[in-house]
Amino acid sequence: MGNIGDEYANTRHNIGFKIVEALADEAGASFVSDRLAFHTSFRLKGKSIHLIKPATYMNLSGKAVKYWLDKLEIPKEQLLVIVDDIAIPFGNLRIRARGSDGGHNGLTSIQELLGTTEYPRIRFGVEGNFPKGHQVKYVLGEWNPEEKKQLPDKISTACEAVKSFALIGLERTMNIYNKSGNRKP
């Protein structure tokens, strides 16, 4: 998940977009503007992978997710939402089969439109280093210099986790990547 527009491109809130863009680049796939989202697909070891970047802004992400799940006839169990999380240390991943929205408006939108919290998600840690009342400014702010240096490796690990989910499933992927530090296997 993320927000469309150049002003949001390198913000913490757009880490989901950065990860799917890295996956698409690695596969040689290009996003095209389509209904409610930018979409691309590619094959990974015989499996079809579809990536979307909702064009609805974060708070309405559920519209795009629901439309594409229905259009592509993908069951919710095969959906993987990638979202930023201020409660997790920078770059760490937390992969879950279900859960609350945790106050994240994008997840709230998806939950409302799918009518469930039962869908897999990867939460990418962006930490919560902001003064009280400045959360929006923080998540819509750009990475600090130290984070920028580490970000390519952290995105690479997240991409490996997404591919793992597609190839070996949620449970095994959780066992690998939910460990402290989220090092690659």
Which tens digits make up the pLDDT trace of 165-182? 999 999 999 999 997 555
CA–CA dist 143, 139 (Å, integer): 9
- pTM (global) more than 0.75: yes
What pLDDT is stored for residue 185 in this prediction?
46
Catalytic sites, residue numbers = 13
Q: What pLDDT does 106 receive? A: 84
φ/ψ region of 29 (left if φ > 0, alpha if ψ in -120 to 50, else beta) reads beta
pLDDT digits (tens, 9 = 90+) for 41-76: 999 999 999 999 999 878 889 999 999 999 999 999
Highest mean pLDDT among 56-70, 108-122, 144-158: 144-158
Please say whether the beta carbons of 104 and 169 come within 8 A.
Answer: no
| Distance from C-alpha of 77 to C-alpha of 93, rounded to nearest angstrom | 19
> How is the chain split into domains, by residue range?
6-177
Q: Is 3.90.1170.50 the CATH classification of the domain at 6-177?
A: no
Q: Which two tokens stand for residue 156?
A: 């690479």
Helices (H), 73-177: 105-114, 135-139, 145-168, 170-177
Length of the chain: 185
Joined together, the tokens standing for residue 151 give: 């970000």
